[in-house]
Amino acid sequence: MAYSKTSFVCLPCRASYKQAYGRWTDERRCPRCTGALIHAGSAFAAPPRRDTAAWRTLTLLLNAGIGFHKSCCGGPGYRPRTRHEVRERTLYARRSGESLAQALLHRDVPWERTAR
């Protein structure tokens, strides 16, 4: 039985690898640095290696537990792309008390809820 492929990311190397996501449950290792790979999801598209700002944003998203998994209706939904968008959502999370992972998924920051 063939398994579908999904992306695994090594953040220190800024590298992405497509691997079969099946019964293989061993911890996957980066071929370059032998560090642990993070499961990013099947809808993940890696930024260029030289784009440090995009990799910083990606690091924050993956460490917050936000992946790029396909749903039945399409792609993974909204994900912030720039450091400015991440800063806005982080500030909103602090002011509103919402978790950072949930705040990062807002397409538009609902500032009116924080003005209480």
Note the pLDDT tens digit of each residue in 2-50.
Answer: 567 889 999 999 999 998 876 556 788 999 999 999 999 888 889 999 9
pLDDT digits (tens, 9 = 90+) for 38-81: 999 888 889 999 999 999 999 988 988 888 877 666 556 677 88
Does 76 reside within a domain?
no
Q: What is the largest CA-CA distance in the chain?
A: 56
Does 33 reside within a domain?
yes
| CA distance readout (Å), 27 to 10, 38, 47, 59, 79 | 13, 9, 24, 19, 26
Does 36 reside within a domain?
yes
Note the pLDDT of residue 1: 52
Q: Tell whether the torsion through CA atoms of 57, 79, 17 and 20 is positive or negative.
A: positive
Residues 54 and 21 in one domain: yes
Residues 51 and 97 in one domain: no
Note the pLDDT of residue 71: 65
Note the pLDDT of residue 50: 95
Does 29 reside within a domain?
yes
Q: Burial, 28: exposed, middle or buried (Cβ in 10 Å; 0-12, 13-18, 19+)?
A: middle
Note the pLDDT of residue 113: 47
Note the pLDDT of residue 114: 44
Does 70 reside within a domain?
no
Contacts 24+ apart (CB under 8 A), 36-39: 37/8, 37/9, 37/10, 38/8, 38/9, 38/10, 38/11, 38/62, 39/6, 39/7, 39/8, 39/67
Residues 57 and 88 in one domain: no
Residue range of the domain that includes 104: 83-113
Does 69 reside within a domain?
no
Does 74 reside within a domain?
no
Of the given ranges (60-64, 81-85, 93-97), which has the lowest mean pLDDT? 81-85
Does 53 reside within a domain?
yes
Percent of the chain at pLDDT above 90?
27
Tally of domains within the chain: 2
